[in-house]
Structure 1
Amino acid sequence: MVTTNELFPKVISLIYENKTSLKFTQAKQHIDKILKFFTETLGDRSFFGGEQLSLAEIVAGSTALPAIRQYSFSPCPSPIITFSFWDVPHSCRKCCIVPGLPNLGISLDHYPKLHDWSENLMQRPAWQKTALSPEEFEDFKRRVKVLVKLRQRQNSWGKSAN
């Protein structure tokens, strides 16, 4: 649940927030803590559950979809802003979270075991099918920015009506 509840909202902040903002810096720091936690949890094993692929890899490494499907999540720009599963276009529902962090400027080089784990996942045919192309990733970022702005606008309209 760390990926769903902790990591994914911070990824949204990295996409949405200005790179010089405090929220952006805080999101990067929080992601660093999460990556350290993942590294410690992984230990010397190939996978979180041991030497075989487990549900932990699917949750930690594969998709943003559980975060979107499970509930409306609140990205960091405002705890009031929420998205539903249907707000996210189909091509963007297949985002590999940890393996995709380098696309947001978060290098896994400081986490060699996690880097290897991520590379091993991305070698699997199922993960290759879920990986976004560079164009799909840019589309995902663009759509997240638009969705956050729309939700902020909707929330401000709701407040002015009260």
Structure 2
Amino acid sequence: MLTFYHYPMSPNSRRVWIALLEKELPFEEVVLQLNGDQLQPEFLEISPFHHIPALVDDGFSLVESQAILDYLEAKYPTPSLRPTEPKALGIVQMVRMATINELAPAMSPMVSQMMGMRTPEPEKLEESKQKLAVVLKFFEGLLEGKSYFGGDSLSLADITAGVSIPWLPQLGMPLDDYPQVIAWRDRVQSRPSWETTKPTPEMIAQLKALMQARMAKAKN
């Protein structure tokens, strides 16, 4: 039996959650509240860096969302979330890495602002928007004529990018100039796995309160 430790508002957690649902794998869900749950000795035995998500499969523990996604694909290959054709596979892996290394860091200042943690300098926000524009233009080209990044079927690239890009308009980065990205976003968001894992307004408010309390505590 798979045991999935996660926090529903975490993009990294949601990626693994979606993959588990897409593969229709049975799993036990353990929700951590990040108010100290992640520092408990029993969880540190699974995730020594106290990071979520974590997955335990018959006593074998994994951390780091992308590593977990690769493990699930290797051990439970049906339905496949990774194309075998070399070009499609290269695109899928490239999108995963670009999301983690380029998209997510560029979003960070804007997320901090939305959560009420801090107000970045206008120059910093403009720099983030410029970096996001580069990523979106890149993704727009990769999606030309395709339903998903890897072709006609959902892949790990769509899961990795698909929990982040839908937030961009709320962060102040409109998608109007990227029609292929918009069509793809709407396509992935209509899938049951996205609907099931979609953060509720209550969850967002809870996370904002948690982040603001941490910032206040750090200032004292």
TM-score of the superposed pair, with normalisation by structure 1: 0.62
Q: Is the aligned partner of 1:116 residue 2:212?
A: no
Of Structure 1 and Structure 2, which has the larger fraction of its residues in helix? 1
Consecutive unaligned residues of structure 2, counting only runs of 5 or more, are 1-96, 114-118
1:39 corresponds to: 140
Distance 2:102 2:180 in 1: 21
* Structure 1 contact 48–56 (Cα < 8 Å) conserved: yes
Instruction: Describe the SS at the equivalent of 2:153.
Output: coil
Q: RMSD value over aligned CA atoms? A: 2.5
Equivalent of 1:9 in 105, 128, 131? 105
* Structure 1 contact 19–25 (Cα < 8 Å) conserved: no
Deviations 1:45-83, CA, capped at 9 Å, x for gaps: 11100111111111111xxxxxxxxxxxxxxxxxxxxxx
Q: How does 1:1-162 map to 2 (within 5 A)?
A: 1-16=97-112, 18=119, 21-61=122-162, 96-141=163-208, 143-144=210-211
AA aligned to 1:40 is G
Distance 2:130 2:211 in 1: 21
Bigger RCO (CA 8 Å, 6+ sep): 1
Distance 2:212 2:132 in 1: 19
User: CA, structure 1 residues 31+124, in 2 after alignment: closer, same or farther (shift >3 Å)?
Assistant: same
Distance 1:39 1:30 in 2: 14
Consecutive unaligned residues of structure 1, counting only runs of 5 or more, are 62-95, 154-162
Give the number of equivalent residue pairs.
Answer: 119
* Structure 1 contact 108–115 (Cα < 8 Å) conserved: yes
1:79 corresponds to: none
Distance 2:127 2:145 in 1: 29
* Structure 1 contact 15–145 (Cα < 8 Å) conserved: no
Distance 1:39 1:149 in 2: 40
User: CA, structure 1 residues 103+48, in 2 after alignment: closer, same or farther (shift >3 Å)?
Assistant: same
User: CA, structure 1 residues 146+101, in 2 after alignment: closer, same or farther (shift >3 Å)?
Assistant: farther
TM-score of the superposed pair, with normalisation by structure 2: 0.47
Of Structure 1 and Structure 2, which has the larger fraction of its residues in strand? 2
1:76 corresponds to: none
